[in-house]
Amino acid sequence: MDKKYRFLYNDNRIIEVTDMKKYQRFFRIAAILNLISSSILFFNYYSLIGIVSAIVLWHLSNMSEEELHNYNVGVFLLAFSQIFINFIASIFVFLAYSNLSNGEDSINPINGPPVRVKKVVNPEMRRIDILLKLGVGMVLISGILFATTSWSFVSDAAKAIFLLVFGSLFLCLSLFTEIKLKLYRSSYMYWIVSMSFYLFSIIALLYFGVLGSLSYDGVSSKLAYAITCFTVAGLCYASYLKLSKEYLLFGFYGSAFLVIYNFLAYFPIDESIVMIILSSILLGVTIFSKKDSTLFQTSKLLSMIMFVFIIRSINGYNEVWILLASILNIATLVYLMYRSDDTLESIFMIGITYILLFFSVYNFSTSSYASILLFCVLCVYTLLIKINTKEHFKLLNNINYGLFSIASLIIFVVSTAEDSIVGFIISLGFLFMNILASQRIEKSHVVKYASYIEPVAILISLAAFFKIKELNWEISFSMIFAIATIVYIVCYYFYKENNIKKLYLMAALIGTIASIQINIDKEVLPALLVLVPTTVSTLTSYQEYQNNNPKKAWFTISYIILLISIYNLLKNINILVISDVAIDLIFLGILVSTILLWNNEIVKKTNYFAIIIPLLGIINYFDFNITYKMIMISILLLYLTFIIVKFLCKTSDSKNIVGLIGVIVAIIEVMFETNVTIGIYIGIVGIIVILLGYHLKELKSFFVTGIIITILNILIQLRDLWETIPFWLYLLIGGLAIIGFVTYKETNKK
């Protein structure tokens, strides 16, 4: 969102102050999209137009809003033309235009940021300006069609001559309107048309092959493109000398760069050598140009064009030269990033730096040494960004470290497949970088989330170490997770910050669950090791809880995972080598003893819930009659409902709703069985529910529910007798039931 301020001036004008950045972002995104589309098409007519559009858009992003308002219609025409060049980019150009279409100028009040006030424009002059620009646009479009369309009655050479003549006529008209008529706006437009027609004449000559093989489709196509770019550069520079418009310098520098590329590509030189020459030129220009100069601003866009060229040249050319060209371009990007004050530019430069490094290094070699080299370069690059004390580098540091972490994991996977020792070295380096990133070195920025990645880095290092092929250690991942939990506990005692200590305790608990889940071979040692972190976490959190720490969740989670670890050791691992029912009885005894001996509310509540697990195991162990087994499971569900209502439900409504759902779930499976035992059981449940609803006001809905359960039970259990009962008996029972219900309601009223 744009930041807005309001200032009151002496003439009682209220002026809205706006920190305008949106239009710059939209222009730059559109420029980047044009570059990407040009890289897909590589070098043909459309890619050339896309690159030129990208240069123009990038220049517009560096212009102030006051300057852009002078070219409001031009920006609209550019946005409209983008529809045919790159539809997605056109959307962003229109968005940028919408941020400029308010027709406002900037004024700098005393001790205030830039402000926006309404600019008074003569309506008639505005209409004339629009018509003039519209006419120029139509003339330019006609020139393009004339230069690229075959007409049977006009020869190709004649078309080029006609275009030259038209260009000269408009040039003379421009000079006449400027010198004699003093119409500077019209003179400017005529000049642009004149230069465009001169360019169209060259395009016509090369498009139709008037000069033989020197054409866009001929053997000398690269030379043809070089001539076209040279013409653009010359016309832009001549126009700059005439009009002193900075954007013309952008066109001049960009076209000159493309001239060098196409001219070198014309000769039988390896494409990778061309990339090295261009990257060297660009690096030199960037270093020796002033920060605020147009040449320096242009070098930002040219570095991105070089990125496109290098990526397209990776396959099929000399890997060493491509790597060298990438290094030169990366040096340019790093230098630009350090001198830039724009966060969006810097983020984009960081992204393409990572892409260049990955593609060029792994194109050169996929060996383990290449992985180490790439990782070391990324480490140095990350540290350079970290130690930069500029304010906007704080955000860059965080974004870069996220990219660095992802890149490091990819390098680790690639290198481990090649050489397990190298993978271990890279994992240690990643761990070391995590420690550095979370520390403040003098005035360097800190990556706070690096601490959260640290436990993952430790786990990766341990896995890489134990999976080194030369050591021939056959250690399961369950064991690796168990060892990691011990390391996490050591780190817990090593660190002093509470947040980091809690982080490692949480990592130890997560590692415990992971070790238990993947222990498919039922190893005893991992199951024993994970008892250490769960016990430490439980005792530590209990001590905090005893010291009036209001947070109960930490102790609850730790204790639950401790119970899971103990049950896993007894049941799944069967460390005592006894029957399952004996294990369930032992675990049940542990839970009951803890309830009796440990006077703690959380422990008691947790154990009440945990008791269900061994009881369910005992029920499933014995081969009970299906009827009795159904009844016992139903009783367990009723018990679960009871403890949920008692310990977890706080309000009367929640107790009623949860209780009713629990009772219905508990009896629904057994209720429709015609059996004396089940009938007696459901009857007892119904009576208990009625009594609870009668005596407990917070469970008043249980009373009606119990009556319904009892009646349904009677109806279901006696459904075989209904045919033998006379009809008058139904009437008698129904009448008595209605009388009894009315009597009950009257009693309640009194």
Contact 262, 222 (CB under 8 A): yes
Compute the average pLDDT of residues 127-142: 59
Phi, psi at 118, each rounded to 5°: -65, 135
Q: Does the pLDDT at position 449 exceed 60? A: yes
Taking each continuous run of H as one helix and of E as one strand, the counts in the chain are 31, 4
Compute the average pLDDT of residues 470-481: 85
Question: Strands 4-8, 104-107: parallel, antiparallel or unpaired by DSSP?
Answer: unpaired
pLDDT for position 18: 40
Count other C-beta atoms under 10 Å from residue 181's C-beta.
10
Query: Hey, which bits of 238-320 come out as E strands?
Result: none
pLDDT for position 109: 38
Residue 15 β-bridge partners: 7
pLDDT for position 110: 38
Higher pLDDT, 191 or 68: 191
The sign one gets for the Cα dihedral 525, 526, 527, 530 is: positive
Residues ≥6 apart with Cβ < 8 Å to 473 = 466, 467
Compute the average pLDDT of residues 296-323: 83
Contact 375, 422 (CB under 8 A): no
pLDDT for position 157: 77
User: What's the pLDDT band for 430 if we cut at 50, 70, 90?
Assistant: very high
Provide the phi-psi class of 478: left if phi over 0, else alpha when psi is between -120 and 50, else beta.
alpha
From 334, 314, 414, 316, select the one nearest 382 (Cα to Cα). Answer: 334
Residues ≥6 apart with Cβ < 8 Å to 382 = 400, 401, 404, 433, 437
Rounded to the nearest 5 degrees, what angle is found at the Cα of 224, between the Cα atoms of 219 and 230?
A: 155
Contact 36, 351 (CB under 8 A): no
Which one of 44-53, 111-120, 416-425 scores highest in mean pLDDT? Answer: 416-425
Compute the average pLDDT of residues 245-250: 83
pLDDT for position 10: 40
pLDDT for position 97: 72
CA distances from 195 to 13, 44, 142, 151, 243 (A): 44, 22, 14, 23, 12
> Alpha-carbon distance 483 to 232, whole Å?
67
Mind listing the pLDDT tens digit for each residue in 615-666?
988 888 887 778 888 888 888 888 888 888 888 888 888 888 888 888 888 8
> Alpha-carbon distance 272 to 650, whole Å?
73
From 279, 292, 286, select the one nearest 328 (Cα to Cα). Answer: 279
User: What's the pLDDT band for 17 if we cut at 50, 70, 90?
Assistant: very low
> Alpha-carbon distance 374 to 416, whole Å?
14
Task: For residue 748, give both structure tokens.
Answer: 């309640």
Q: What is the domain partition of the chain in residue ranges? A: 1-120, 475-575
Compute the average pLDDT of residues 685-693: 82
Entry pTM: 0.68
Count other C-beta atoms under 10 Å from residue 42's C-beta.
12
In a 13 Å sphere around the CA of 655, the CA atoms on its Cβ side amount to 18
Residues of the chain with pLDDT > 70, as a percent, come to: 80
Assign 3-state DSSP to the chain and report helix, strand, coil percentages, each to 5. Answer: 75, 0, 20
pLDDT for position 404: 92
Mind listing the pLDDT tens digit for each residue in 547-586?
765 567 788 888 899 998 888 888 877 777 788 888 889 9
pLDDT for position 667: 82
Q: Does the pLDDT at position 119 exceed 50? A: no
Rounded to the nearest 5 degrees, what angle is found at the Cα of 148, between the Cα atoms of 142 and 152?
A: 95
Higher pLDDT, 459 or 143: 459
State the average pLDDT for the chain: 79
